[in-house]
Structures are given as structure tokens and as C-alpha cells.
Structure 1
């Protein structure tokens, strides 16, 4: 093909690529691919032509645009976990504290009720589960429930269940926070009754070493999801100077950020329950190490680090 015909055939496309920005990354990538093909053709047949130089410059420009977008997406991902999410957590520490206090108080109340009413545990957990646990205890394997299922199947089932439960706790906040409080009530009562059942059988400390290997992250996720639900509900109850619909949008957005932040917690908790908790005879030092690591992570990332980051940002602003 003659250079003039090659130019006439493609010049409109090239000018479009040069002066009209791509609407999305996929379109930009497609433009870059076509330009590379045209550039390769030009270098083959017109190596010293101005058309070749023009295409080289245009392709380089689009390549830099792709690289810039990729770098911004990567930095946005890092910024979310390093800055955006922790500052959102700090903004709503009060709601998270309320969620923690409600859940803990109900768990303690449930344990107290179970200690004074022999039927309470069965009423909460159901006869079938209690009898299965008692049967496992009689067999000398009180935590056998964690060993009956395939590891992968158990991991997937628990991960989906954790996500479902936490999402329900969050979304229920739309009912002016009462829905989230109800789910915290329900889960807190179940935890208190469940934990007391093992203490009553003289298996308190062993149950902590086994169950809380995954329970530390799992229960923390439910409490944080409850806080996210309170954010959603309070945005309706207390819109402040904003329109209620605008306040709701902001509350939903901030609450959803917390839920996104819980995704790694869900996955790790499910992994621990599916793959680690089944080894109930693991060394105590290993169990305590996992417990301590999980607890310290939650304490650091959702409590201490957000406070520290907020103070640092406030200090920087005061200097500017």
C-alpha cells in the first residue's frame, strides 16, 4: 500500500484518538493495540516517514495514559486500606463502641441466664445441637463438630455464611438502627449460651483455645457490621443539617466501606475455622499465638491505628 493511501485510510481514526479522550480503560487499550499495529506496518514499509514518527508519538502518549490510569488505580487501592478506611472507622468509633457494648452485654446476660436456668441453653441453641455436643463430649472429642466436613467445603460454606450474617446485620440498620440491634441481640445471646455450655462441662479454657481461634475474627466482624448498621440507621435518625436522603446516602456509603473492610476478615476467619480449628489438639502456644495475633490485628487496625492516623492528619493540617 502506498504511503498516501495508508495515510488517507487511517488519518481520521488517528485524529480521533489524538483529540478525543477514551471513555474507559478498555477503549484506551483497544486504541493502543490498533496504533501499535499501524505503527508496525509503517515501520516496515515507511521507516523514515513522518507518518511513522507521528504514530510513534501518538502510541507513546496513549501508553503513558494507560500507565497513569493503572498507577492511579493501584494507589487508590492502597490509599483505601491505608488511609480512607481507617479514617472512616475513626469517624464512627462511637457507633462501633455501642455495637461492642450491646453485643458483650447480651452475651454476658445470656451466660448469666444459662447459669440459673438449665433449659436456657437448649432454648437458644436447640435440642439437636446440644445433644450432638454432649455426645461428642462423651466420646472424648467435644469439638468434633469442626472435623466432620471437608476442609474446602467447610471453608466456602462458613465464608458465605459469615458474609451473609454480617450483611444482614448491616442492612438491617435501615430500620432506624433497631434491626442491627436485634441481630446483635440474637448473636450475642447465642454466643453467651454457647460459651457457657462448655464452661458448665468443665471445658471453658479448652473451648477458648479452640473456638476462639476463628471466633476472634468472626465475632469482631459481626460487631463491626453492627456498627456499620448503626451508621446507616443514625443517618436517617440524625441527618443534621443535610437533607435526610443525602444523609442516608452518606451513611450507606460509609457503612459499605466498613463492610468492604471486613471482607479479608471474613475470609481469614473462614479459613481458620475450616482448616485450623479442626486440630483441637494443637499445642497451646500455637492456639494462643493465633488468638493474640487476631485480637491484636483487630485492636490495632480498627481502634489504635485510626486514632493515630487522625491525630497525624490533624497535626499536619495545623502546620499548614
Structure 2
């Protein structure tokens, strides 16, 4: 069977499935979902066998993955939605948003370099960014022999609460301002990056780079990571407005808000951990250097491991499962006997139509 015939014969069925998945599919009976999944894996197996490099194969692979996640969520997450969120749902969202995470990191890193470069070439820049009162206070602390004394001014509990709230506020702005076509998110990332670059260079000028680095990054590793991840969430929402793809813009926006908000919720532990470290640990400036390095290293490994590496592993695991299903589902003795005629329905979406129109 030729590819255009294959698509024409099944397109309406795929459109129905996509319409169901784009809304709330909780009303759909589990048995019906299982039937849906079997039909899709049949189609995917056929497409991989006869049209392995085709766009329709990629489309069916993506659609089948969505159905699989929906079934898995209903079977597993109902008993423990909390665990499912951290083990599967959030990692898959992060994988799908991986390019936005990269963009967010690049914007922040470039801004930090700009901040450091500006501080190196303009003596007034640090005061402009950090404020005279902070700079003067830090200079006094340096003269007293306690350059990191700023972290000891308030009580530990108060700092923990205040800093956690501030981290949530900044990250919330980074997310919400994504509604401005991601420009607002980029600005939050840029401004915070410039501030970090100027701040770190200020201590470098005073010959205190290592001292400041091993103190600031005790909490900064997780704190800065949370801001960058919040920027990723904001870009997910902003991109859903700017590039709606095959979905109606309103549907794309709602999906973008939901996905971005879930990523933001996933950052709550980071806000709390960063606040705790800054409030209770960073102030211990006399702590052994090896302990400081260990905290920074463990924080970095955790962030990269869970938010970057683990999502890739979850995605590959799902793809391996789908590949196994699609290759073992049917043996094609008779191509024409493979198909079940698509039923007439009142649903339609643009996703399948976009592919069909190319054929």
C-alpha cells in the first residue's frame, strides 16, 4: 500500500485520537484507551516497516507516546500521583523543553559575561547594578577581614524565609513575563545574569574571587539553576503564543501555560533548598574548603543529573518501549488485512491535516 493511501485511510482516526488527547481524556474508559493504543501501535509498526523515514512515522511515534503516557498516568499515577510527577511527568516536560532550557542558560551566561566585562571597564558599573549601600557595606566587611559578612547580618530563620520568598518571586516573574512572547523572560534572565557577573567581578577585583566563589556558590548553584529553569518555563509559555504550530493559538497557549506551570512547580524544592543553604550554611564562612567544594559539587550533580540527564533517560526508556511494541505487534502477511476502516467522526485537528496535505 502506498503512503498516501495509508494516510488517507487512517487520517480521520488519528485526528479523532489527537482531539481526545488535546483535551481532558480522563473521561475516556481505560479499555477504550487500550484499544486506541493498540490501533496506533499497529499503524506505527506498519509505518516503521514501509515508510521508516517518512514524516508520518514521526507523527505516529509522537501520538503513540502521548497515548502511552496517558495510560501509564491513569494506571500508576492514580495510586501515587506525587511520585509519578517527579519520576515521569516532570522529566518528560523537561525533555520536551530542552531547547528552551538551553536558550535560557545561554542568555543568562552571556549576560553574566557582559556584567563582568562592564564591571572591568567601568568603575561605576558595580555601584550602578548593586547599589551604593551594598558596595559600601561589603567594602567595610573586607576591611574588617570578613568579606562575606553580609550573610551573617540577619538571623538564620529570617534569612531562610526571606531568601526563599525572593527566589520564588524572581522565578515567578521569569515565568509569568513569558506571556510577552518570551521577551519578558529573557529580560529577567539578562538582568539577573548581569547582576551576577558584576557581583562576582567585584570580588575578583579585590583579590577575593576564590573566597567569594566558594561561599556564594554554596547556595548559588541551586539558586541560579532555579532561575534558569524558571526562564525555561517562561519560554515554554511564550513559545506557545508565538509558535502555535498545528494547534489553534488559544489551545496552544493553554497547553503552554500548563506545561510551564508544572515545570515551575517542580522548582519548589530548589527554592527551599537554596533558601536553607543561604540562611543556615553560607554564613559558616570558616567551614573547611573541602566541605564547601563538596556542597557545591553535590548541588551541581543533582541539578544536572535530574533536570538535564534524567529526562533524556526517561525519554529513551519510553521510546524503547514503543519501539518494542511496534516491532512485535504484528507480522505483515497481508498488507490490506492490516487495516480497520476509520469510523466517521465529528472531530478534526490540524496536526494530522498538516501532514496529509503534504501527501
TM-score (norm 1): 0.77
Equivalent residue, structure 2, for 1:127: 132
Cα drift, residue 265 of structure 1: 0.3
Consecutive aligned runs of 4 or more in structure 1 exceeding 3 Å deviation: 71-74
Deviations 1:220-277 (A, max 9, x none): 0000001111111000000011111100000000001110110000000000000000
Give the 5 Å matches for 1:1-320.
73-320=78-325
In 2, distance between residues paired with 1:261 and 1:231? 14
Give the drift of 1:113: 1.2
**Partner residue, 1:17:** none
Task: Give CA deviations for 1:139-190 in whole Å, capped at 9, x if unaligned.
Answer: 0000111001111111011111110110011000000000001111110110
Structure number with the higher helix fraction is 1
- Alignment check: 8 A CA contact 2:237 2:253 kept: yes
Quote the Cα distance in structure 2 between the aligned partners of 1:188 and 1:215: 12
Larger Rg: 1
Paired residue secondary structure (1:87)? helix
Cα contact 2:240–2:255 (8 A) shared by 1: yes
CA distance in 2: counterparts of 1:85 and 1:139, whole angstroms: 47
Figure out how many residues of one structure are paired with residues of the other and give that number: 251
In structure 1, the gaps of 5 or more residues are: 1-68
Q: Shift of the alpha carbon at 1:103? A: 0.3
- For 1:173 and 1:159, the matched residues in 2 are separated by 22
Q: Matched residues in 2 for 1:151 and 1:118: separation?
A: 33
Measured after TM superposition, the shift of residue 74 of structure 1 is 4.9
Is the alpha carbon distance of 1:102 and 1:251 closer, same or farther for their aligned partners in structure 2, counting shifts above 3 Å? same
Q: In the aligned structure 1, how far is the partner of 2:228 from the partner of 2:312?
A: 19
CA contact (8 A) 2:77 2:83 kept: no
Shift of 1:72: 5.6
